Structures are given as structure tokens and as C-alpha cells.
Amino acid sequence: MKKVPVHETPRYLYDPIEYIISGKGKRLRPILVHLSGQAHEAEPSDLMKAAIAVELLHNFTLVQDDIMDGD
């Protein structure tokens, strides 16, 4: 996740994105993607892309929920 490129400006937009993707969460969802893919003999590079996509989507929903709640 730390290798995901993030633009420099505008800072008000990209600072929160950097904060979210640099979190030290359990990252259980990407692990489950990898385990499921390995069980079906998927390509490791494809699994990495899918795992990142799942984690980014999950983090987006958390941020969107915070925005809707006014947090």
C-alpha cells in the first residue's frame, strides 16, 4: 500500500489519502484475497492487484462514512 503513488497537490486532498493508506491496520482483507487466490492457483501479481483494490475500496468506504457522519 505504501507504494501506491499519491500526487503532491492539492495537499488538502492528498494528505488524508496518504494518512489512510499508511495506517497500521490488520490488513485482513488483502490476506483473505491472497489465500482465496492461492487456493484457486491465481497468479501472484494478479492477487496483489486485487488485494490492493479491495483494501483501497474498504478504506474509501471508511472515509466516506466519516464524511457522512461529519467526523
- Mean pLDDT, rounded, for 15-34: 81
Distance CA 61, CA 55 (A): 10
Q: Is the entire prediction scored with pTM above 0.85?
A: no
With beta carbons less than 8 A apart as the criterion, state whether 24 and 55 touch. Answer: no
Residue 1 pLDDT > 70, yes or no?
no
Share of the chain above pLDDT 70, in %: 96
With beta carbons less than 8 A apart as the criterion, state whether 16 and 63 touch. Answer: yes
DSSP H helices in 1-71: 11-21, 28-39, 44-69
Residues 34-51 pLDDT 10s: 999 999 999 999 999 999
